[in-house]
């Protein structure tokens, strides 16, 4: 049985993106560098976490993570990541508009799912083999999977900042019981891995 995990960076006040997300600022005001610079400034210190972000058998993401609203429905738009996205596995994009699959270099193919989170998870399980299925984000997508009880592990990368507003993790999610299963970090970020206790 596949493990379903979410690995996501957030502020101390639970925001995974700031306000005013745009093509120029994919993570919104205040958050572009602040939430993620641990990945680039100290990559060797966080190797286990970085590997955990990319070694899944399939990924699921929301349409905002795939691209900004004014671009993602264009036939020319193929995501933020260039010709060789970092996923190297099937990526299922939750969307309201059907598109044909988009194969990319390195083994990534984007598939567009219009019939909800459980359909996307079923498709991901069909191709992931025995590997983890990663719920990649953004906040709305993660919150939907948490609310449905479909995430087994939550890997939080907590930056030592607050944003005050933006896209918030746990917004509208029923109470959760979490068991810490691993912690590490530096001055740039604290990593906490939780098992979601199913009732």
First CA to last CA distance, the chain: 18
The 3 state secondary structure assigned to 153-177 is EEEEEECCCCCCCCEECCCCCCCCC
Question: If 0-12 CB within 10 Å is exposed, 13-18 middle and 19+ buried, where does residue 138 land?
Answer: buried
Distance CA 93, CA 136 (A): 10
- Residue spans per domain, the chain: 4-196
Q: Tell me: domain 4-196, CATH 3.40.430.10, correct?
A: yes
Omega cis (within 30) before 138: yes
pLDDT at 144: 98
Question: Which one-letter DSSP state was computed for residue 46?
Answer: G
- Give the CA radius of gyration of the chain: 16
pLDDT at 74: 77
pLDDT at 36: 87
Per run of 10 residues, the mean pLDDT along the chain (length 199 residues) is 94 90 75 81 86 89 87 81 93 93 95 97 97 95 98 96 94 97 94 94
CA distances from 22 to 25, 72, 177 (A): 5, 12, 34
Would you say the pTM of this structure is higher than 0.85? yes
């Amino acid at each position: 049985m596949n493990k379903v995990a979410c690995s996501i960076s957030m502020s101390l006040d639970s925001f995974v993106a700031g306000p005013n997300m745009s093509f120029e600022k994919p993570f919104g005001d205040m958050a572009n560098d602040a939430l993620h610079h641990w990945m680039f400034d100290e990559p060797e210190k966080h190797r286990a976490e970085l590997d955990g972000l990319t070694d899944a058998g399939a990924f699921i993401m929301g349409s905002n993570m795939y691209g900004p609203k004014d671009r993602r429905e264009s036939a020319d738009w193929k995501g933020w990541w260039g010709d060789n996205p970092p996923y190297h596995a099937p990526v299922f994009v939750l969307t309201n508009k059907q598109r044909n699959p988009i194969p990319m270099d390195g083994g990534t193919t984007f598939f567009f799912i219009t019939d909800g989170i459980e359909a996307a998870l079923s498709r991901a399980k069909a191709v992931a083999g025995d590997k983890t299925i990663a719920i990649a984000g953004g906040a709305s997508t993660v919150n939907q999977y948490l609310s449905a009880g479909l995430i087994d592990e939550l890997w939080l990368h907590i930056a030592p900042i607050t944003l005050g507003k933006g896209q918030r993790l746990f917004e509208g999610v029923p109470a959760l019981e979490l068991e810490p299963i691993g912690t590490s970090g530096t001055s740039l970020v604290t990593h906490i891995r939780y098992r979601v206790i199913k009732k």
